[in-house]
Amino acid sequence: METTNRFNVKRFLLLLRNDLFCNYRTLLIGAGTVAAIYFIATLAPLIFSQRSVDSDFHSGFFPAALYICGFLLSAAAFSEIHHSQKNTAFFMLPATRLEKLASRLLLTTIGFVVIGIIFYFLLNLLSFLIAALFSTAQFSLFNPFSREMLLTIAVYLVAQSLFLFGGIYFKSHAFMKTGLALFGFAVATALFSAIIFRIVYHDFFYHMQVMDNYLAHDFIYLEDFSKTLFSIAKYLFWLALAPFFWMLSYIRLGEKEV
């Protein structure tokens, strides 16, 4: 139900509160699961074998929890639009399509990241206190503002757009189908690139076979070309990927309304 085409901040905040209230059970279940795995992975070896928990643990556990939980949440953000008994209620909400998309987008990006950091830090602080009472092993505190963690969060904020679009596009099993689609795209891109590279740079393979004086020049050229290609891919990832899939999500959401 489109009440007006203009974005209304008050209406958006009400919608945001409604979305948060409707999904708090899912968030609590996910938080409980992460907490259980975290305590098993940290406190059990810490107390029983006196093994220290250093920053390397956080470098592995936090990104894994952030990506898996965040992508699952993003893929399920619009699950009700694929159910005949629920989609009518969603589309009849007194809010514009942009407000509906922005609400779920904000919850699965900045909202999820902020809540996740606070929750993980509290888990870490509780584990630190327990370790101080029952163990002599060292237990490092989680630093969400390190360069590594900030990069992890930035990558999530971009890559999340893929699963948000997948949740709107696929009717069921959106998380798995999006992952398979990305894997298939990566394989197809790699094969296509290898074929094009073999055709365009056939001289390189010839020089490699005969080991002539042109081989060193070819390596220098390929190194410069790979750096240029990597720079282009990096800019596309950081600047274009997320807005592109947000736009596709907006368009696809409009198609589902019809």
pLDDT for residue 9: 93
How far is Cα 12 from Cα 5, in angstroms, rounded to an integer?
A: 13
Query: Both tokens of residue 134?
Result: 């029952």
Over the stretch 85-126, which tens digit does the pLDDT of each residue have? 888 889 998 899 999 999 999 999 999 999 999 999 999 999
Query: Both tokens of residue 155?
Result: 């990558």
Q: What's the Cα-to-Cα distance from 213 to each of 208, 219, 224, rounded to whole Å?
A: 10, 11, 19
Chain-centroid distance of CA 45 in Å reads 30
Q: What's the Cα-to-Cα distance from 198 to each of 2, 36, 201, 249, rounded to whole Å?
A: 53, 50, 6, 36
Question: For the chain, how long is the longest CA-to-CA vector?
Answer: 72
pLDDT for residue 1: 47
Whether 170 and 177 have beta carbons less than 8 Å apart is answered as yes
pTM of the model: 0.90
Over the stretch 166-225, which tens digit does the pLDDT of each residue have? 999 999 999 999 999 999 999 999 999 888 877 766 665 555 554 555 555 556 666 777
pLDDT for residue 2: 47
Helix (H) / strand (E) containing 56: helix 55-75
Over the stretch 11-55, which tens digit does the pLDDT of each residue have? 999 999 999 998 888 889 999 999 999 998 888 877 777 777 787
**What is the SS3 assignment for 49?**
coil
In 3D space, the residue among 155, 158, 126, 156 whose CA is nearest the CA of residue 139 turns out to be: 126
How far is Cα 109 from Cα 258, in angstroms, rounded to an integer?
A: 27
How far is Cα 40 from Cα 243, in angstroms, rounded to an integer?
A: 39
Q: What is the DSSP string of 118-154?
A: HHHHHHHHHHHHHHHHH--S-BPPP-TTSHHHHHHHH
Please give the residue that has the higher pLDDT: either 88 or 250: 250
Sign of CA dihedral 151, 154, 159, 160: positive
